[in-house]
């Protein structure tokens, strides 16, 4: 049975069920088509999240503009779907192993797959779309992008997710000043964690500002590089939890000021005003989260 090569972004659950039924007659073609379907649904959800993060004026909103936005999002999602080495290839491998399982199980596996380094390209596309936003829209988009990873880090450390995503916003300038690899791609290091002697992973070497004896100096430094934002949050959580240097940070994370001061005392940054700046960023983040809840 041949599998249709039509638009993979229909998002129609019935079409996915038809693909599931055709697996017995043409499993390989079915796997490829289903992978594109699921990647399309995933990318549309990402676009929807970014659209929801935008604050609407309400002046020109109507059923027509809503339909137009949905069609535009579908076109953007189409362009980001089915690329070689992208998310659909990862999904295809998952489906290939699980054709005998219910479709609901496959869908949950897709969600888990999206957090793996192999799916970093799809996350990078979403982060890049933040560049079209500014001001509050960009800030809200940044919080939504990192919400899941921050909550996972909270479960591992006990540090409030809002505190950690606020620190990521402070270190990266709401994603505008992420540390780049030599080829210009993102290192996903939104926490500005340096690569010390014990770090065995990839690194990104950039020029940064350090304060020494009260004077700011430009220096070359090596920073840790990750395969995804989730890896960055996971590594940050591990450092906070396992490094004795930051034990008091975890213990004093009940308040924004206590958390920020703990980081400064532990030597997280050389900026003498780091605690005050981070405290203000956390309070800004908390206000944004309450306003958009």
Contact of 81 with 8, CB cutoff 8 Å: yes
210 part of the active site? yes
Instruction: Give residue-wise pLDDT tens across range 32-79.
Output: 776 776 777 776 776 666 666 555 555 556 666 666 667 766 666 666
Contact 18, 48 (CB under 8 A): no
- Point out the catalytic residue in the list 178, 235, 242, 276: 235
Place of tokens 């690329």: 83
Rounded percentage of the chain residues whose pLDDT exceeds 70: 56
Cα–Cα distance for residue pair 224/204, rounded to 1 Å: 6
Indicate the pTM of the whole model: 0.57
- pLDDT above 90 for 95: no
CATH number assigned to the domain with residue range 133-292, chosen from the 4 options 1.10.3720.10, 1.10.530.10, 3.30.565.10, 3.40.50.300: 1.10.530.10
Alpha-carbon separation of residue 251 from 72, 95, 179, 262, 276 (angstroms):
47, 43, 29, 9, 19
- Strand, coil or helix: 206: strand
Indicate which residue of 52, 61, 210, 242 is catalytic.
Answer: 210
**Side-chain-facing half-sphere of 149: CA atoms under 13 Å:** 26
> Which residues make up the CATH 1.10.530.10 domain(s) of the chain?
133-292
Angle at 175 between CA 233 and CA 149, to 5 degrees: 25
The fraction of the chain above a pLDDT of 90, given in percent, is 41
Tens of pLDDT, residue by residue over 186-222, are: 999 999 999 988 899 999 998 877 766 677 778 888 9
**Annotation says 235 is catalytic:** yes
């899941």: which residue's tokens?
148
> Distance between CA 254 and CA 249 in Å, rounded?
10
Describe the crossing of helices 229-242 and 135-157 by its angle, rounded to 10 degrees.
50
CA torsion, ordered 197, 202, 204, 209, to nearest 10 deg? -30
């Amino acid at each position: 049975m041949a599998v249709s090569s039509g638009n993979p972004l229909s998002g129609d659950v019935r079409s996915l069920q038809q693909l599931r039924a055709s697996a017995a007659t043409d499993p390989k073609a079915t796997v490829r088509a289903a992978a594109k379907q699921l990647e399309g649904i995933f990318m549309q959800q990402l676009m929807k999240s970014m659209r929801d993060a935008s604050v609407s004026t309400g002046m020109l909103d109507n059923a027509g503009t809503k339909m137009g936005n949905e069609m535009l999002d579908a076109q953007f999602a189409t362009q980001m779907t089915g690329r070689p080495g992208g998310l659909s290839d990862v999904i295809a491998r998952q489906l290939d192993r699980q054709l005998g399982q219910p479709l609901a199980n496959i869908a949950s596996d897709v969600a888990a797959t999206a957090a793996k380094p192999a799916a970093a390209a799809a996350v990078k596309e979403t982060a890049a779309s933040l560049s079209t936003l500014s001001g509050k829209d960009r800030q809200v988009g940044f919080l939504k992008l990192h919400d899941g990873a921050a909550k996972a880090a909270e479960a591992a450390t006990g540090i409030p997710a809002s505190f950690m995503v606020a620190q990521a916003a402070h270190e990266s300038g709401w994603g505008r000043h992420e540390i780049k690899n030599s080829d210009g791609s993102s290192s996903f290091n939104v926490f500005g964690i340096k690569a010390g002697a014990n770090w065995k992973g990839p690194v990104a070497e950039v020029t940064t500002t350090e304060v020494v004896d009260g004077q700011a100096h430009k220096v070359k430094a090596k920073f840790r590089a990750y395969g995804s934002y989730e890896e960055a949050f996971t590594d940050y959580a591990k450092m906070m939890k396992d490094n004795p240097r930051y034990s008091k940070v975890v213990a004093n994370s009940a308040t924004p000021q206590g958390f920020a001061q703990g980081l400064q005392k532990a030597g997280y940054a050389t900026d003498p005003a780091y605690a005050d700046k981070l405290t203000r960023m956390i309070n800004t983040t908390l206000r944004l989260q309450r306003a958009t809840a």
